Amino acid sequence: MSDVLRAGIIGLGVGKAHAKGYTTSTDADLVAVCDTNAERLQQFADEWNVPERYNDIAMMLNDAKLDMVSICLPNALHAQYSIAALEAGINVVCEKPMAVNTQEARAMVEAAKRTGKKLMMCYNYRFRSDAQWMRQMITSGQLGTIFHVQVSWRRETGIPGWGLFGSKAASGGGALIDLGVHVIDLALWLMDFPVVQTVSAQTRSLFGPFGRKTWGRVPGQKIEGGFDVDDGAVGFMRLGNGASMAMNITWAEHGQPQEDAYRVEVQGTEGTAVLNVRNYKNDDSLRFYTEMAGQPVTVIPGLRFDGPQGHEALIIDLAKSIRNRTEPGTSGEQGLVAVEILEALYESSEKRREVVFGSR
C-alpha cells in the first residue's frame, strides 16, 4: 500500500482527540468527519480543513471511500457501526470500551476476521512515555517475579454531567466500564496479558443518583434522563501468572478536592514500579523502588514527553500498521478480553460471589 490512507472520524466528542493523530500522521489524511450536531460538525471540520462532512453514518461509510475510520460514538453503538465499517471494507479504530457486552465484542472480532480488515482499540494511555518505560522495565525482568498489582482511577468530583454516561442502556455501566477499562488494560498489557482466572467485585451508586459530585453542575442538580450506573467499584482478580490484582475505581468520593488520578503499581521480587498520573499531567509520574548494596532506594526516571503522546501517538501507530500490513499494537482481541473481564466483574457484584473466569 503506497498511497496515504483516507481516514475519517465518526463522532466529534471524544473524536476530537483522534484528529491530531490523523493530521500529524504521514500515513493518513483526515478526509471525512461525521456528527449529527451540525454546529459541532462545521466547527471542527473547518478547524481541521476536512473536505467531506456528513451527518449520516451509513452515507459516510458508503460514499467516502475510507481506508480507516475512528468510531467515537456512545458505547452501545460501537458494535453496530464498527461492524458496518468493517463490512464496508474499512479498517476500524474503536473507542473504549469495545462494546457493552461480550456477545457484541465477539461479533466485532468475527467481523474483522471475516472481512480481513483490522479492528483496533483506542487504549491511548499505553502511548505515553511513562507507560512505555514501565512496560520495558517489566518485560526485561527488572522487577523479577510479579506477585501483585494495584490499579486505581479515583476522582473526587468526576461524574460526567453530559452525554449518556449515566445511562446503562447507552453506556453499559458507569465508572467501572468508563475508567476501569483503562487501568485494567494497562496492567494486563504491562504483564503481556496473563490469563485471568477469577474475578470478584462490588459496585456502588451513592452520589450520582442524588446529583452529587457531578462535573459542571451544582450539588443536587440531577442528570437529565436519570442515573442507573455505578459511580464506584472495587475488585480483585487472580491471574494465571501467579499474581493477584486489586482495583479501586471512583467517579466520586470524598478526598483531595479536584483530584483525578490513575495509578498502576506493579510489585515484583526485585522491585516495584509505580505509574501515578494526576490530572492528566506528565510531570513526576513514575517511581521505581528496589535495593542497591543492601539498602532500599528510590529511582525517579527523568523521561521526556516531547514526542507524540496518547491519542495522537496511537493513531499514528495504527495508521502505520495498516500501511505496513503489520499487526496493530491494540487489537480487537485485547479489547474483547477487557469486555469479558468487565462483564464478569459486574456479574460478581450482582451475584455477590466470585466468578470463575471463562466458566460463564
In SS3 terms, 52-63 reads as EEECCHHHHHHH
User: How many CB atoms within 10 Å of residue 263?
Assistant: 18
Rounded Cα distance, 255 and 293, in Å: 38
Contact 105, 116 (CB under 8 A): no
167, three cell numbers? 445511562
User: How many CB atoms within 10 Å of residue 224?
Assistant: 9
The string of pLDDT tens digits covering residues 271-285 is 999 999 999 999 999
Model pTM? 0.94
User: How many CB atoms within 10 Å of residue 208?
Assistant: 28
Question: 5-123 maps to which CATH number?
Answer: 3.40.50.720
Rounded Cα distance, 336 and 152, in Å: 21
Q: Name the amino acid, one letter, at 332.
A: G
pLDDT for 1 equals 45
What is residue 163's DSSP assignment? T
Rounded Cα distance, 220 and 207, in Å: 10
Fold for 126-310+340-356, please state it.
Answer: Dihydrodipicolinate Reductase; domain 2 (3.30.360)
What residues does each domain of the chain span?
A: 5-123, 126-310+340-356
Write out residues in the chain with pLDDT < 50, as ranges. Answer: 1
The string of pLDDT tens digits covering residues 165-210 is 999 999 999 999 999 999 999 999 999 999 999 999 999 999 999 9
- Give the rounded distance of the alpha carbon of 127 from its chain centre: 11
User: How many CB atoms within 10 Å of residue 283?
Assistant: 8
Segment (H or E) for 187: helix 181-190
Beta partners for 159?
214
pLDDT for 263 equals 98
Residues whose CB is less than 8 angstroms from the CB of residue 125 and which lie 6 or more positions away in sequence, other chains included = 131, 182, 185, 186, 262, 277, 310
User: How many CB atoms within 10 Å of residue 326?
Assistant: 10
In three-state secondary structure terms, 211 is: coil
In three-state secondary structure terms, 284 is: coil
Contact 158, 348 (CB under 8 A): no
